[in-house]
With several copies, the nearest count.
Chain A
Amino acid sequence: MSGDARETPADDGKFGRFGGQYVPEALMPAVEELTDAYQRYVLDNEDGFIDEFREHLRTFGGRPTPLQRADRSSERYDTEVYLKREDSVHGGAHKLNNALGQVLLAKYMGKERVIAETGAGQHGTATAMAAAHLDMPCEIYMGRTDVNRQRPNVFRMRLDGAEVNPVDVGSGTLKEAINETLRDWATNVEDTHYVIGSVVGPHPFPSMVRDFQAVISEEARSQVQEAADRLPDAVVACAGGGSNTMGSFHHFVGDEDVDLYAVEAGGSGLERHEDEGVAPHSASLSTGDEGVLHGARTKLLQDRHGQILESHSVSAGLDYAGVGPELADLVESGRVTPATVGDDEALEAFHRLSRLEGIIPALETSHAFGFLEREGAELGDLVVVTVSGRGDKDLETVIEETEQRDLDAAPDLEVFER
Chain B
Amino acid sequence: MTEASAEPAPRVADAFADGPALIPYLTAGDPDLEATEEFVRALARGGADAIELGMPFSEPIAEGPTIQNAIFRALDAGTTPERFLDAVGDLDVDVPLLVMTYYNPIYQYGSEDGPEPYVEAAAEAGLSGVIVPDLPAEESDPLQDACEAHGLDLVFVVAPTTTGDRLDRLMARTSGFAYVQARLGTTGARTDLSEATFESLSRLDGYDVPRAVGFGVSEREHAAAIVEGGADGVVVGSALVEMVAEGVEADENPATVAERLQAAVADLKAGAEEGATRATPESQGN
Chain A residues within CB distance 8 Å of chain B: 12, 20-30, 169-170, 175, 179, 182-183, 186-190, 277, 290-295, 300, 302, 304-308
Partner of B134, one of A12, A22, A187, A277: A22
A290 to B57, CA, bound (A): 16
Interface centre among A183, A190, A295, A306, by most chain B C-beta atoms within 10 angstroms, is A306
Interface centre among A24, A28, A308, by most chain B C-beta atoms within 10 angstroms, is A24
Complex interface: chain B residues within 8 A of A294 (CB): 59, 61
Complex interface: chain B residues within 8 A of A304 (CB): 108
- 29 A-B pairs in the complex with CB atoms less than 8 angstroms apart: A21-B138, A22-B103, A22-B136, A23-B134, A24-B61, A24-B62, A24-B133, A24-B134, A25-B170, A26-B162, A28-B159, A28-B162, A29-B162, A29-B166, A170-B72, A179-B59, A179-B60, A183-B61, A183-B62, A186-B184, A187-B184, A188-B184, A189-B184, A292-B107, A294-B59, A302-B104, A305-B80, A305-B108, A306-B107
Question: Is B105 an interface residue, CB under 8 A from the partner?
Answer: yes
Residue pair A24, B105 in contact (C-beta under 8 Å): no
Question: Is B238 an interface residue, CB under 8 A from the partner?
Answer: no
**Given A187-B185, A308-B59, does the pair A25, B162 have CB atoms closer than 8 Å?**
yes
Question: Is B64 an interface residue, CB under 8 A from the partner?
Answer: yes
Question: Is B109 an interface residue, CB under 8 A from the partner?
Answer: yes
Residue pair B105, A307 in contact (C-beta under 8 Å): yes
Name the residue of chain A whose CB is nearest to the CB of B181.
Answer: A26
**Given A302-B108, A305-B81, does the pair A28, B136 have CB atoms closer than 8 Å?**
yes
Minimum CB–CB distance from B88 to chain A (whole Å) comes to: 16
Size category of the binding interface on chain B: 35 or more
**Given A23-B136, A179-B59, A183-B185, does the pair A28, B166 have CB atoms closer than 8 Å?**
yes
Name the residue of chain A whose CB is nearest to the CB of B105.
Answer: A306
Question: Is B262 an interface residue, CB under 8 A from the partner?
Answer: no
A305 to B162, CA, bound (A): 32
Chain B residues within CB distance 8 Å of chain A: 57-62, 64-65, 68-69, 72, 75, 80-82, 102-109, 113, 133-139, 156-163, 166, 170, 181, 184-186
Residue pair B58, A307 in contact (C-beta under 8 Å): yes
Complex interface: chain A residues within 8 A of B58 (CB): 277, 307-308
A189 to B104, CA, bound (A): 24
Residue pair B161, A29 in contact (C-beta under 8 Å): yes
A27 to B105, CA, bound (A): 21
Chain A facing B: main interface SS: mixed
Name the residue of chain B whose CB is nearest to the CB of A188.
Answer: B184
A190 to B68, CA, bound (A): 24
A409 to B162, CA, bound (A): 42
Name the residue of chain B whose CB is nearest to the CB of A182.
Answer: B61
Interface centre among A169, A186, A302, by most chain B C-beta atoms within 10 angstroms, is A186
Name the residue of chain B whose CB is nearest to the CB of A30.
Answer: B161
A300 to B134, CA, bound (A): 17
Residue pair B68, A24 in contact (C-beta under 8 Å): no
A28 to B163, CA, bound (A): 11
Complex interface: chain B residues within 8 A of A20 (CB): 138-139
**Given A169-B72, A170-B72, A302-B104, does the pair A24, B59 have CB atoms closer than 8 Å?**
no
**Given A302-B104, A305-B105, does the pair A189, B161 have CB atoms closer than 8 Å?**
yes
Complex interface: chain B residues within 8 A of A277 (CB): 58, 75
A305 to B104, CA, bound (A): 9
Known: A27-B161, A308-B58. 14 other contacts (CB 8 A): A22-B135, A22-B136, A25-B137, A25-B159, A26-B157, A26-B159, A26-B185, A28-B136, A277-B58, A292-B102, A302-B104, A305-B81, A306-B104, A306-B108
Complex interface: chain B residues within 8 A of A292 (CB): 102-104, 107, 134
Residue pair A25, B156 in contact (C-beta under 8 Å): yes
Residue pair B166, A291 in contact (C-beta under 8 Å): no
Complex interface: chain A residues within 8 A of B137 (CB): 25
Residue pair A24, B107 in contact (C-beta under 8 Å): no
Partner of A24, one of B75, B138, B159: B159
A25 to B135, CA, bound (A): 8
A292 to B82, CA, bound (A): 19
**Given A305-B80, A306-B57, A307-B75, does the pair A21, B139 have CB atoms closer than 8 Å?**
yes
A165 to B65, CA, bound (A): 15
Complex interface: chain B residues within 8 A of A25 (CB): 133, 136-137, 156-159, 161-162, 170, 181
